[in-house]
Amino acid sequence: MIPHEEIRQKLDRSWTFRLIDTIRNSQSGDDLEEVCKTIAGLDDPRSIEPLIEMLEDRDLPYHIREAAGEVLQHGCIARCEADRRGWWNSGDKLLMKHALLEARTSEADIIIPIAQDPQHEFHRDAIAGIEFGFEEPEYKQLLIKALEHENAEIRGIAARNLCWDEPVLAEDGLIKLLNDPDDEVASDALDTLRWFSSQKSFLSMVALQNSVRDSMREDLQSAITDQKEWFEAAFGRLPREHQPFLLTWLKPIEELLSFRKENEEVNATDERVVTPKHPPREKTVLCTAQEVISLFDDADGCWNNKQRWRIECKWNEFTQFDMERMSVYFREHQDHHIREFGCCALASWDRNDVLEIFLHDACSGVKRNAAYQLKRTSPSKAVAQTLFNVYQHINSTGELAADLLAAFVVHAPRAGLEDLLVDIALNERRIARKRTAVQELIKMEAHSSVESLLSLLEEPPLLNWGLHKTLVEYCVEQELAVPYFSELCKADDLYLQEWLAKAVPYLKPVLLKGVSYAAKN
């Protein structure tokens, strides 16, 4: 009997190869669901090669290859960049399916036509594959359309994959799915919709309370409670003189909230007492190279106490000899977890050379952490060029692209930098890049450049209202009148409205009539 729960809790990698053998020796596949879940949870890089070998071995039974592929979808696949097109062109249906599930933007020419064709035999896998990296609005539209697919599984997949960006245009389709006849689809829609900070999503969940199916009752109440607290907290964060504007906007849901009395007490005492929900975790403190190596060198050990947030290292107290030793150790280590962990140390020691190597790492986590840590090392034109080259790669998306661009700004020469960031902010179709360009211009105090971008406030959201909030926040901090204020007042987004409330004192008198009308309607 395999103690799955204990293995997952301890992240006991001594089981890795025994679990792989369990997959390899399986007779039917009926016993593999828990095994796959446990191996995926271990995230042991030593499992990658044997799992890929099983996936690619066409002489093995289908259920074994399928189980191997299932695990690989949850891991950092070192060979994936080179393999995806090969898998698709293999003619093997399982490899073709896996290629779609692992696709990135570089494979858009393969996956998008299939995602556009609801009758294609791989349509389900194409929709599932449009998850990470497909930031452009046209890709999200494919998921939004799939919310209406006749196949319940595809509707559920689309609902889950929309969670990451909370696109405004997906909201109506997700609300409709709350009443989907399939329990899992309705639950998937709720799991995504609960992150939308709009009155429409909140009211849709409240309206569902009297007819909710038993399987969703607890999750629905949790989602309603969370959103209720968001609205109340936003009101409570505002100074008293800014609250009337937000209260007007909150009018449609005011009776469902309970912020008034509590807020008056908070304002009266001007205190913000926060009780931690969980006691702080104990951390392992490491002060020498040998202590770090001793902790990580047991590849078969229990890794629950080796995760980054459980470890505190005094990197600046290491001797010069230990710094050199550990730089080599991190650079050459085969475990992507260790390379990722080492990025903080390398930045503390100003090791641009190793972090620059990590920008080309096969593991996206290592790549992103290297970019993040390069924001605090000594500026280097060579590093700036590498950062920008990696940033320009078609698969540099989301938070990776944001960290690459932010680090590039740290290392790049000032000449032409503002113009480049303005061009990105105006013309980029990927929201993470667009918003980071604006944020970096704000940090640079490039006021004329930022003010030239305020025209973006007139445009509808590319995906969500995040960019608009950033620009409104800038206006408030600079005590500028927010352009297109009366139109923005109609946006159904709590956090945008919270900043618009702060912007009211800086409005020009001519705007006030329009503001009053927009706020009330």
Domain count for the chain, please give it. Answer: 3
DSSP H/E element including 123: helix 123-129
Q: Looking at residues 269-295, what average pLDDT do you find?
A: 67
Is residue 359 scored above 70 in pLDDT?
A: yes
- Tell me, yes or no, whether 141 lies in a domain: no
Is residue 517 scored above 70 in pLDDT?
A: no
Q: Are 400 and 371 in contact (CB under 8 A)?
A: yes
Is residue 514 scored above 50 in pLDDT?
A: no
| Residues 231-268: tens digit of each pLDDT | 999 999 999 999 999 999 999 999 999 865 444 444 43
**Same domain for 244 and 225:** yes
Which of these three, 242, 275, 308, is where a domain ends? Answer: 275
Give start and end residues of each alpha helix (H) in 297-446: 320-332, 336-348, 352-358, 364-373, 381-391, 398-411, 417-427, 431-443
**Same domain for 520 and 496:** yes
Is residue 271 scored above 50 in pLDDT?
A: no
**In the structure, what pLDDT confidence band is assigned to residue 75 with cuts at 50, 70 and 90?**
low
**Same domain for 332 and 226:** no
- Tell me, yes or no, whether 469 lies in a domain: yes
- Tell me, yes or no, whether 93 lies in a domain: no
**Same domain for 321 and 256:** no
The per-residue pLDDT for 301 is: 87
**In the structure, what pLDDT confidence band is assigned to residue 398 with cuts at 50, 70 and 90?**
very high
- Tell me, yes or no, whether 421 lies in a domain: no
Q: Are 64 and 26 in contact (CB under 8 A)?
A: yes
**Same domain for 401 and 292:** yes
d(Cα 469, Cα 475) in Å, to the nearest integer? Answer: 10
- Tell me, yes or no, whether 6 lies in a domain: no
**Same domain for 298 and 270:** no
Is residue 199 scored above 50 in pLDDT?
A: yes
**Same domain for 308 and 260:** no
Which of these three, 220, 243, 275, is where a domain ends? Answer: 275
**Same domain for 344 and 262:** no
Domain that holds residue 383: 284-413
d(Cα 444, Cα 421) in Å, to the nearest integer? Answer: 11
Give the 3-state secondary structure of 186-220.
Answer: HHHHHHHHCCCCCHHHHHHHHHHCCCCCHHHHHHH
- Tell me, yes or no, whether 498 lies in a domain: yes
- Tell me, yes or no, whether 116 lies in a domain: no
**Same domain for 369 and 324:** yes
**Residues forming beta bridges with residue 286, ordered by sequence position:** 313
d(Cα 23, Cα 413) in Å, to the nearest integer? Answer: 53
| Residues 454-464: tens digit of each pLDDT | 999 999 999 99
Is residue 377 scored above 50 in pLDDT?
A: yes
Which of these three, 413, 431, 455, is where a domain ends? Answer: 413
The per-residue pLDDT for 356 is: 98
**Same domain for 300 and 402:** yes
Which segment of 149-153, 250-254, 374-378, 510-514 scores lowest on mean pLDDT?
A: 510-514
Which segment of 41-45, 129-133, 226-230, 506-510 scores lowest on mean pLDDT?
A: 506-510
- Tell me, yes or no, whether 16 lies in a domain: no
Which segment of 302-311, 401-410, 511-520 scores lowest on mean pLDDT?
A: 511-520
**Same domain for 394 and 307:** yes
Is residue 77 scored above 60 in pLDDT?
A: no
**In the structure, what pLDDT confidence band is assigned to residue 397 with cuts at 50, 70 and 90?**
very high
**In the structure, what pLDDT confidence band is assigned to residue 73 with cuts at 50, 70 and 90?**
confident
Distance, C-alpha 117 to centroid of its chain: 27
**CATH number for the domain that contains residue 384:** 1.25.10.10
| Residues 302-346: tens digit of each pLDDT | 988 887 777 888 899 999 999 999 999 999 999 999 999 999 999
Q: By percentage, how much of the chain surpasses pLDDT 90? A: 80
d(Cα 155, Cα 174) in Å, to the nearest integer? Answer: 10
Q: Looking at residues 482-510, what average pLDDT do you find?
A: 92
**Same domain for 385 and 368:** yes
Q: Looking at residues 85-113, what average pLDDT do you find?
A: 94
The per-residue pLDDT for 82 is: 65
